[in-house]
Amino acid sequence: GAVVSQHPSWVICKSGTSVKIECRSLDFQATTMFWYRQFPKQSLMLMATSNEGSKATYEQGVEKDKFLINHASLTLSTLTVTSAHPEDSSFYICSARYMNTGELFFGEGSRLTVL
Amino acid sequence: RKEVEQDPGPFNVPEGATVAFNCTYSNSASQSFFWYRQDCRKEPKLLMSVYSSGNEDGRFTAQLNRASQYISLLIRDSKLSDSATYLCVVKSNDYKLSFGAGTTVTVRA
């Protein structure tokens, strides 16, 4: 199946710093990618829809200035958590829709811990 | 009310047993339904789509009940490797995906 790669898998940072997470579709082009956040024992919550070449669409309650999304190419979307705080510690997962079948493929996830 | 609700479990079953669980959804206009499997600290992976007439994939059977707005997943002859969290995913008519919190299944030897 199609492959979506996320990097880094784990990141620990100090409060107040910014962290960038990359999401790449390795063997297909994705005009749309999605970013989710998952807290322990909770469901995946969609944060935003990343559209190649245009601004991301954020879900209600997600601060666009705090979670910067850039989808500069058909194979890469980035999520930057700016001025991270301990409450931003979570599991961040991206996904990309394979246009041919509509199936959603997920990245491996990035576990962020803010100290 | 949450858009997608699942019994969190855990369902602890012996190897070889059958286990089944449901997922309810609130949006009657939902178009597509899926079961994803998520292993601990890993990304979700598609297990199977759920079709209106119900469908089977090996030991896994999925059913859809539009009238009562729920889908179900049944696992027959459980294997140790079936231990995971099963996420119910519902796609609405605007292509928005909603995820359940997951049902945890633990298969013991």
Do residue A43 and residue B43 have CB atoms under 8 angstroms apart? no
Q: Which residues of B touch A43 (CB under 8 A)?
A: 4, 87, 99-102
Confidence of residue B43 (pLDDT cuts 50, 70, 90): confident
State yes or no: pLDDT of B67 exceeds 90. Answer: yes
> Residue A42 to residues A38, A63, A107: CA-CA distances in angstroms?
6, 20, 18
Number of neighbouring beta carbons within 10 Å of residue A40? 6
pLDDT band at B98 (very low <50, low <70, confident <90, very high): confident
Measured distance CA(A115)–CA(A88) in Å, rounded? 10
Partners of residue A57 on adjacent β-strands: A49
Query: Inter-chain contact B97–A91, Cβ cutoff 8 Å?
Result: no
The top-scoring range by mean pLDDT among A25-34, B8-17, B36-45 is B8-17
- As a whole number, mean pLDDT of residues B48-67 equals 94
- B103–chain A nearest CA distance, Å: 10
Q: Judge whether A80 and A17 are in contact, CB under 8 Å.
A: no
Beta carbons within 10 angstroms of residue A72's beta carbon: 10
- Asked if A59 is an interface residue toward chain B (Cβ–Cβ < 8 A), one would say no
For B12, other C-beta atoms within 10 Å of its C-beta total 13
AA identity, residue B25? Y
Taking CB atoms and an 8 Å limit, are A108 and B44 in contact across chains?
no
pLDDT band at A105 (very low <50, low <70, confident <90, very high): confident
CA atoms within 13 A on the CB side of B70: 11
Of B42, B46, B97, the CB nearest to A109: B42
Contacts of B100 in chain A (CB under 8 A): 43
